Amino acid sequence: MDVVSPELNSLLPDEIMDTEAIEDIPHSQSETVVPMETDVPVPTENLSICSNATLMEPTQTLTTSAATDSTLCVSLVPSPLLTIKPAMATSTATTKTTDSVTGTTVSAGGLQKLTTQFAISAANHQIILNKLASSQATEASKSAAASAQVIKQEGQKLLVTAIGKSGQPIVLQLPHTGSKPGVSQTSGDTKLQTPQFKVVTIGGRSELKPMVVNPGNQVTALQTQQLKTLQIPKKTPASSAAPIKFIITKTVNSKGLNPQTPVTPVIQGRVLTQTSPVMTSKTITLSEPLNTSLPSKKIAISPLKTPSKVTVVSVASPPSNASQKSVALPVSVALGQQILAVQQSTSASPIKVATSQPSAQNIKPVQTVPVAGVGGSQFKTIIPLAAQPNVQQIQVPGSRFHYVRLVTASTASSTGQSSVPNTSSVQTGKPVVVGTGAVRMSVPVVSAQTVKQVAPKPLTSATQVVTTTQTQQRLIMPATPLPQIQPGFTNLPPGTVLAPAPGGSNVGYTVVPAQYVTQIQQSPFVTLASNSSFPPSGAVQSQAKLPLNGVSAAETTSRPRKPCNCTKSQCLKLYCDCFANGEFCNNCNCNNCFNNLVHETERLKAIKTCLDRNPEAFKPKIGKGKEGESDRRHSKGCNCKRSGCLKNYCECYEAKIMCSSICKCIGCKNFEESPERKTLMHLADAAEVRVQQQTAAKTKLSSQISDLLMRTTPVLSSGGGRLPYTFVTKEVLEATCECLLEQAKKSELTRQPQVEAERMILEEFGHCLMSIISSAGKVKADCASINC
DNA sequence: GAGTTTGAAACT
DNA sequence: CAGTTTCAAACTC
Is the separation of the CB atoms in A668 and A659 below 8 Å? yes
The nt closest to A565 (CA vs C1′) is: C8
Query: CA at A571, C1' at C13: how many angstroms apart?
Result: 29
3-state SS class at A188: coil
Query: CA at A378, C1' at B7: how many angstroms apart?
Result: 29
The nt closest to A574 (CA vs C1′) is: B9
3-state SS class at A701: helix
Among A22-26, A608-612, A614-618, A675-679, the least confident range = A22-26
Q: Please give the pLDDT value at position A73.
A: 38
Whether A700 CB is under 7 Å from strand C: no
Q: Please give the pLDDT value at position A55.
A: 38
Q: Does pLDDT of A685 surpass 50? A: yes
Q: Please give the pLDDT value at position A370.
A: 39
Q: Does pLDDT of A293 surpass 50? A: no
CA dihedral A111, A72, A126, A179 (to 10 degrees): 90
Which residue in A371, A546, A342 sits closest to A432, CA to CA? A342
Query: CA at A748, C1' at C8: how many angstroms apart?
Result: 44
Query: CA at A473, C1' at B8: how many angstroms apart?
Result: 38
Q: Please give the pLDDT value at position A487.
A: 40
Task: Report d(CA A318, CA A432) in Å as an integer.
Answer: 15
User: Residue A665: is it exposed, middle or buried by C-beta count within 10 angstroms (0-12/13-18/19+)?
Assistant: buried
Question: Of A480, A497, A529, which residue is a domain's last?
Answer: A529
Report if residue A780 sits inside a domain: yes
Query: Which among A158-172, A180-194, A719-733 has the top mean pLDDT?
Result: A719-733
User: Residue A6: is it exposed, middle or buried by C-beta count within 10 angstroms (0-12/13-18/19+)?
Assistant: exposed
The nt closest to A563 (CA vs C1′) is: C9
Is the separation of the CB atoms in A640 and A665 below 8 Å? yes
Query: Which among A213-227, A497-511, A644-658, A709-723 has the top mean pLDDT?
Result: A644-658
Query: CA at A654, C1' at C11: how many angstroms apart?
Result: 14
Report if residue A740 sits inside a domain: yes
Q: Does pLDDT of A658 surpass 80? A: yes
Whether A573 CB is under 7 Å from strand C: yes
Whether A135 CB is under 7 Å from strand C: no
Whether A703 CB is under 7 Å from strand C: no
Give the pLDDT confidence of A101-121 residue by residue, as tens digits: 334 333 433 333 333 333 333
Q: Please give the pLDDT value at position A784.
A: 62
DSSP code per residue over A470-484: -EE--B---SS--TT
Q: Does pLDDT of A294 surpass 70? A: no
Whether A457 CB is under 7 Å from strand C: no
DSSP code per residue over A629-675: SS--EESS----SSSTT-STTSHHHHTT----TT---SS---STT-H
Tell me the pLDDT band of A492, cut-offs 50, 70 and 90.
Answer: low
Query: Which among A226-240, A334-348, A493-507, A613-627 has the top mean pLDDT?
Result: A613-627
Structural domain of residue A742, as residue ranges? 706-785
Q: Does pLDDT of A599 surpass 80? A: yes
Residues 639-658 of A with CB under 7 A from strand C: 647-649, 654
How large is the C-alpha radius of gyration of chain A? 29
Report if residue A434 sits inside a domain: yes
Q: Does pLDDT of A659 surpass 60? A: yes
Query: Average of pLDDT values for A743-762?
Result: 86
Query: CA at A513, C1' at B9: how many angstroms apart?
Result: 22
Chain C: nucleotides below 7 Å from protein CB are 6-11
Whether A661 CB is under 7 Å from strand C: no
DSSP code per residue over A498-518: EEPPGGG-TT--EEEEGGGHH
Tell me the pLDDT band of A579, cut-offs 50, 70 and 90.
Answer: very high
Task: Report d(CA A670, CA A393) in Å as an integer.
Answer: 44
Query: CA at A478, C1' at B11: how many angstroms apart?
Result: 36
Query: Average of pLDDT values for A178-198?
Result: 38
Query: Average of pLDDT values for A31-38?
Result: 39
The DSSP call for residue A487 is: G
Is the separation of the CB atoms in A208 and A241 below 8 Å? yes
The nt closest to A590 (CA vs C1′) is: C8
Query: CA at A319, C1' at C6: how many angstroms apart?
Result: 58
Is the separation of the CB atoms in A772 and A730 below 8 Å? no
> What are A298's strand-pairing partners?
A384
Query: Average of pLDDT values for A364-380?
Result: 38
Query: CA at A491, C1' at B12: how many angstroms apart?
Result: 26
Query: CA at A399, C1' at C7: how many angstroms apart?
Result: 35
Report if residue A58 sits inside a domain: yes
Task: Report d(CA A671, CA A652) in Å as an integer.
Answer: 10
Q: Please give the pLDDT value at position A464.
A: 38
Task: Report d(CA A711, CA A457) in Å as an integer.
Answer: 31
Report if residue A334 sits inside a domain: yes
Query: Average of pLDDT values for A242-257?
Result: 35
Query: Average of pLDDT values for A300-317?
Result: 34
Task: Report d(CA A650, CA A659) in Å as an integer.
Answer: 9
Look up residue A97 and give its amino acid.
T
Query: CA at A522, C1' at C10: how many angstroms apart?
Result: 34
Query: Average of pLDDT values for A451-479?
Result: 35
Q: Does pLDDT of A598 surpass 70? A: yes
What is the average pLDDT score of chain A?
Answer: 50
Chain B: nucleotides below 7 Å from protein CB are 5-11
Query: CA at A309, C1' at C10: how many angstroms apart?
Result: 34
Regarding beta strands A82-86 and A118-119, do their DSSP bridges make them parallel or antiparallel, or are they unpaired? antiparallel
Query: Average of pLDDT values for A216-227?
Result: 38
Whether A108 CB is under 7 Å from strand C: no
Q: Does pLDDT of A524 surpass 60? A: no
Tell me the pLDDT band of A282, cut-offs 50, 70 and 90.
Answer: very low
The nt closest to A650 (CA vs C1′) is: B7
Residues 741-770 of A with CB under 7 A from strand C: none
Q: Which residue is nearest to nucleotide B11 (CA to C1')?
A: A613
Number of domains forming the structure of chain A: 2
The nt closest to A639 (CA vs C1′) is: B7
Q: What is the 3-state secondary structure (H, E, C) of A344-384?
A: CCCCCCCCCCCCCCCHHHHCCCCEEEEEECCCCEEEEEEEE
Report if residue A736 sits inside a domain: yes
Query: Which among A21-35, A56-70, A510-524 has the top mean pLDDT?
Result: A510-524
The nt closest to A614 (CA vs C1′) is: B9
Question: Of A497, A513, A529, which residue is a domain's last?
Answer: A529
Task: Report d(CA A400, CA A395) in Å as an integer.
Answer: 8
Give the pLDDT confidence of A605-627 residue by residue, as tens digits: 999 899 988 888 888 887 765 44
Tell me the pLDDT band of A509, cut-offs 50, 70 and 90.
Answer: low
Q: Does pLDDT of A171 surpass 80? A: no
Whether A16 CB is under 7 Å from strand C: no
Sign of CA dihedral A677, A678, A681, A686: negative
Whether A787 CB is under 7 Å from strand C: no
Q: Which residues touch strand B (CB under 7 A)?
A: A 573-575, 580, 609-610, 613-614, 617, 621, 636, 638-645, 647, 649-651
Question: Which distant-in-sequence residues (6+ apart) come within 8 Å of A724 by Cβ?
Answer: A712, A713, A714, A715, A716, A776
Question: Of A529, A546, A572, which residue is a domain's last?
Answer: A529
Question: Which distant-in-sequence residues (6+ apart) come within 8 Å of A31 by Cβ?
Answer: A67, A264, A265, A266, A290, A292, A296, A298, A384
Tell me the pLDDT band of A640, cut-offs 50, 70 and 90.
Answer: very high
Report if residue A10 sits inside a domain: yes
Tell me the pLDDT band of A567, cut-offs 50, 70 and 90.
Answer: very high
Q: Which residue is nearest to nucleotide B8 (CA to C1')?
A: A575
Query: CA at A638, C1' at B10: how many angstroms apart?
Result: 17
CA dihedral A186, A189, A191, A196 (to 10 degrees): -80
Query: Average of pLDDT values for A414-431?
Result: 38
Report if residue A537 sits inside a domain: no
Tallying the residues shown for chain A, one arrives at 788
